[in-house]
Amino acid sequence: MQERQRAGRFAIRIYNGIMANLTLVYGMRLLPADEIVRVGDAPVDLKNGNQAQVTMHVLEGSREQIEAQLRLSLDAFFDFYPEI
């Protein structure tokens, strides 16, 4: 639920029925599962001088499990923006 509230702060802009260009910001890195201590949000600096945060996600398992989880996560992410 916290993700949905955070996502709701940034409305997707639509001008005259045409959606503004979007940018999907993400990062990936494979590391040994037992080496990770903490994962924090990543800062994004905006042209207007504000800063946004990108919530980092951790997926663990075999390659196949990670790929399946990533697909589900991506589908769920776009469910936050039904207007897209």
Tokens representing 15 are 């001008």
Q: What pTM value is reported for the model?
A: 0.63
Reading the chain (84 residues) residue by residue, the pLDDT tens digits are 454 444 445 555 655 556 678 888 888 899 998 999 999 999 999 999 999 999 888 999 999 999 999 999 989 888 887 777
pLDDT of residue 65: 95
Q: What is the pLDDT of residue 49?
A: 94
pLDDT score of 51: 94
